Amino acid sequence: MPNKAELIKSLAESVGFTENIDLGNSTSRYDPNTGTLYCEGIQLPHSSIERIKNWYYQQMVTYRNQMHSDTLKREYYMRYALAYNAICMLKDNLDN
């Protein structure tokens, strides 16, 4: 299973961020008492993570239904699917 840095890097790449991604000095951490993920100075409470995950899921479903007719839509589908699954994997790691 990929570690947190690899998941974040994959997620960034999936949405088109192609610059060098250096997570060596990442300040990300998870507070299991509050369910909040602190990522590079941004607080993501459990509810925000769920909303983000659900948004990616809706985008994934939209493009899954259209991807057979268009190469660009297939690429979008793959990006959204990667992001959605990366968030699910991250949440699974955080919850356990």
d(C-alpha 37, C-alpha 57), whole Å: 20
Spatial distance between the Cα atoms of 72 and 15, rounded to a whole number of angstroms: 13
On the question of pLDDT at 92 being above 80, the answer is no
The percent of residues above 90 in pLDDT, for the chain, comes to: 14
| pLDDT for position 47 | 86
Summarised one tens digit per residue, pLDDT across range 48-67 is 888 989 999 999 999 988 87
Pair 8, 27: CB distance under 8 Å:
no
Q: Residues 35-40: what's their mean pLDDT?
A: 80
